[in-house]
Amino acid sequence: MPDPVTPPAAATTPTPPGAEHRLVDVPGGRIHLVEQGTGPLVLMVHGFPESWYSWRHQLPAIAAAGYRAVAIDVRGYGRSSKPSAVEDYRMLSLVADNVGVVHALGEETATIVGHDWGSNIAADSALLRPDVFTAAALLSVPFAPRGGPRPTEVFAGIGGDEEFYVSYFQAPGRAEAEMEPDIRGWLAGFYAGISGDTMSPEGEGSLYFVPPGGRLRDRFPTGPRPAWLSEADLDHYAGEFERTGPTGALNRYRNIDRDWANLAAWHGAPLTGPSLFIGGERDASLAWMSDAVKAYPTTLPGLVSSHILDGCGHWVQQERPDEVNRLLTGWLDALPAR
């Protein structure tokens, strides 16, 4: 069992009562996690640009329901390892990290829950290692099997004269130059831009496109923070990225073609284990990936239920924690015993 560690001194927000910070060794380095409760393991994987802290509302709720709730910092984030090579952030490495965490915690299997990029990581973890990850809950980003042309080719064709944000993130240093001078302000604008209560009047998705010669932040809304994001929450996220820098997080985007090549053996493969999907009505991911949702009977044959939260944006488990907790714990309780 890994030893507990003291939370970083720079942290400005409390750890949920009863939870512990740990560092565990995995084949690719170390992973920082926060753990609470006992029972069957539930591993939670965050997205961009977040950290373990995006699960702060779920840790105590899942622990109280009788589970061992664990939220990790994905490699490149927080106190987890930050390798320098771009290719070290490929999906195969992130799946291996998750397997390593399960084993480091003395477990053989886990249910995996992911949001945003974490949804992709959770789905691929369950797809590649169904012996370890026996069920998957996917938040905000729908599941879509590997297929089609190279992802960078697809994304290059989106947006007309404007540049899709995934394409904008490809060149090392480009997005960093926009973010680094004001990490706190950039994060606040990005969170607000795709939150259900503060996104721009232009509607869902306008933030994701960069005008010619512009920056992503040119589309950030002006006005108040989202209701779910306190000053202390923003301080925590900003403190993490000011300490680590954004490159590790951005390198996930820079591996989409490498992932497409690495996962060729799983082309079109369905995710057959028990699954759950929760999305926000105002999240542009649902509009862009509507065909993926329609294909769930084929691609997610083990889907137990799918839920779209009215008026909610992208940050579902932070915007609607009580509702997400109810859906997650109800789904967990209905899973076959392991």
**Cα–Cα separations (whole angstroms), residue 326 to 61, 65, 118, 329:** 9, 10, 20, 5
Q: Which residues are catalytic?
A: 116, 314
Compute the CA torsion angle 233, 239, 244, 245 (nearest 10 deg). 90
Bridge partner list, 305: 276
Measured CA to CA, the distance from residue 163 to residue 93 in angstroms comes to 28
Q: Convert the chain into a string of H (helix), E (strand) and C (coil).
A: CCCEECCCCCCCCCCCCCCEEEEEEECCEEEEEEEECCCCEEEEECCCCCCHHHHCCHHHHHHHCCCEEEEECCCCCCCCCCCCCHHHHCHHHHHHHHHHHHHHCCCCCEEEEEECHHHHHHHHHHHHCCCCEEEEEEECCCCCCCCCCCHHHHHHCCCCCCEEHHHHCCCCCHHHHHHHHHHHHHHHHHHHHCCCCCCCCCCCCHHHEECCCCCHHHHCCCCCCCCCCCHHHHHHHHHHHHHHCCHHHHCCHHHHHHHHHHCHHHCCCCCCCCEEEEEECCCHHHHHCHHHHHCHHHHCCCEEEEEEECCCCCCHHHHCHHHHHHHHHHHHHHCCCC
